[in-house]
Amino acid sequence: MTKIALAIHGGCGVMPENSMTPEEWEGARHDLAAALRAGYAVLKAGGPALDAVEAAVVVMEDSAHFNAGHGAALNEHGIHELDASIMDGATLEAGAIGTSRAIRNPVKAARALMEDGSAVFLVADAADRFAEAKGLAVEPQSYFTTQKRVEALAAMKTHAAAGTEGTENEKHGTVGAVALDAAGHLAAATSTGGYNNKPDGRVGDSPVIGAGTYARDGVCAVSGTGKGEYFIRYVVGHEIASRVAYLKQDLATAADGVVNHDLAPHHIGAGLVAVGAEGEIAAPYNTPGMFRGWVTPDGKAFVATHETIYEVTL
């Protein structure tokens, strides 16, 4: 058996303290801890990293505190369009779903597509039909909607009309997980509703393999959050893995180099979580906060939103 490790994120951004109530911040940390427990329980029992990242992401998709599944962002027409992907570091197999309007847990559909093997990426109605055919839960649009997202969409439209910038909370968010299992295998999964007031049909980096999600055994697993168009341009997940594999950089150096140096000239919010082949964890971000959590190889668990880090029990 090798070391096991897990890291998750729930999106990065400016995240001013007054943008949520103390109860909402605590609720978000509670659900981050719940996601860690779900994923770590799989790893602790000797289960595969794929199952662990899926389990962790499902918890966050079901939580109204994060922009994925229930509580996802609304596009310019007030419609939820959901993206997700998952990747197996052992085989490089992957599955991705884009612009789904009905799948309750898009990460489950991405996993089902990966295992089906007929395609890597399905979008829109075809993705919804695939999920339903696989027996996965589908929901009406109203299931995904929360008052917070309705208000955020209205705020973003006001900002657009006035030519001003919204807070990161009003804009976007993503959830993701990376894991190393006892067999030494790595996996990554990411899920998002995109950003509020996004163009109809827009797909970001979360379901793009190599950009927002990437895993390769013996190297690392990465899940990103931030302005997805730039994660696609820089192929962020694959770029970090390449620096580790070919430049022999340590994971922290590779991840920090992309987030805080390569992307810096674009002045965009960016963050990610990554886990290496020996259980090392990196979670860089260039904004004042990022919803995040991790379990180290020695079994200690932590969650955070801003600088303060809270230890939690598993």
- Give catalytic residue positions: 174
Containing 295, the helix (H) or strand (E) segment is strand 289-295
- The dihedral sign for the CA sequence 297, 299, 305, 308: negative
Q: How far is the CA of 253 from the CAs of 76, 172, 203, 245, in angstroms?
A: 38, 26, 29, 13
Measuring CA to CA, which residue among 21, 11, 62, 24 is closest to residue 196?
11
* Beta-sheet pairing, 94-100 with 121-123: parallel
* CA nearest to 187, candidates 113, 57, 87: 87
Interior/surface letters 189-225, b for 16+ CB within 10 angstroms, e for the rest: bbbbbbbbbbeeebbbbbbbbbbbbbbbbebbbbbbb
129 contact partners, CB below 8 Å, separation of at least 6 = none
Q: Which amino acid is at 242?
A: S
